[in-house]
Amino acid sequence: MHIWAVGGGKGGTGKSLVANGLGTHLAERGFKVILVDTDFGGPNQHTYCGIRKPSTSLVQFFEDRKPLDEILLKTKIDGLRLIPGNFNSQNTDCLTVTQKQKLFRHIKNLQADHVILDLGAGTQYDTLDTFLLADVQVAVVAPDALATENFYLFLKNLKYRQLNSALSTLGLRDRSRELWKHRTEFGIATTKDLVAYLRALSAEFSDLFDREQQKLKTHVVLNQVREYRQTEVGVAVTSAVNKFFHIPATYAGHIRYDKDLWQHFGQDTPVIHQGVSFNMRQDLEKITESILKAQAMEVG
């Protein structure tokens, strides 16, 4: 089984659309797919699936200890099922480390070929950790300056999260803070210098940080492309991620803007299945194929 996570920082860039598009295409290709809505702040994957009022949600898993396969809902697409997000809960808007680990443990026992997690916006630990735990990491960006800014912030925070996890595991958090506080004394100017210093200080840290870093390898998707020249943003952003963040990133492709998309929500049919333009379907299919190819997970 492959666990995918779709994230990217800013709200409204199209993470839920991409998660749904990937799920739809994989299911149509014959895979057993489960979409999991982990956007606790604004769950709406059910709406993309054409389910107006989901009868179950992850709340039942976390609060009532219901097994995940009992809260799975069928969609009108063969092979595509949904675990709806946190609907009407006052208690859960973000997961604890234990809850996250429990969720992943249970997800791994589900009967499916692909599980796709639709992440929330922002860069809280909860979201970053979920992204890092996935086998297939998909980061969505849009061509405008706000979206790219938030996208870089998301990736930067993923790197910091990895660094802090390694430091915490080895009990080096305080040491690192001290080094940073008095950095001029130690000839440290940037985070890169700090990491180099810590590497020289502890071989254990060096190994662990390398292992953490190997967990981050992202596929970039550019959404809401209105003009062809905007497609350049996807390529440019991907190369910046490689060059400046040292994160292995592959460009998976772009999705054109569909001005009529909004009209297909709120009905009892899956949005992508019934309503979206041929262009959007084609773009989503290409992206799915490109990621499958890059991950070498094709059938047959």
Ligand X SMILES: Nc1ncnc2c1ncn2[C@@H]1O[C@H](COP(=O)(O)OP(=O)(O)O)[C@@H](O)[C@H]1O
Q: Which is nearer to Mg ion, 16 or 218 (CB)?
A: 16
Q: Which of 13, 16, 130, 165 binds Mg ion (CB under 5 A)?
A: 16
Per-residue interface string for the shown chain with ligand X, residues 140-179, x marking contact by CB under 6 A: ----------------------------------------
Q: Does 224 bind Mg ion (CB under 5 A)?
A: no
- Binding partner of residue 41 among Mg ion, ligand X, none, CB cut-off 5 to 8 Å per kind: none
Size of the site for ligand X (CB under 6 A): 16
Per-residue interface string for the shown chain with ligand X, residues 223-262, x marking contact by CB under 6 A: xx------------------------------x-xx--xx
Applying the rule CB under 6 A, the residues between 38 and 77 that interact with ligand X are 44
Sequence-distant (≥ 6) Cβ neighbours of residue 225 within 8 angstroms: 143, 231, 254, 255, 256, 257
**Binding piece for Mg ion, criterion CB under 5 A, among 38-46, 159-167, 255-263, 281-289:** 38-46
- The residues binding ligand X (CB under 6 A) are 11-17, 44, 121, 223-224, 255, 257-258, 261-262
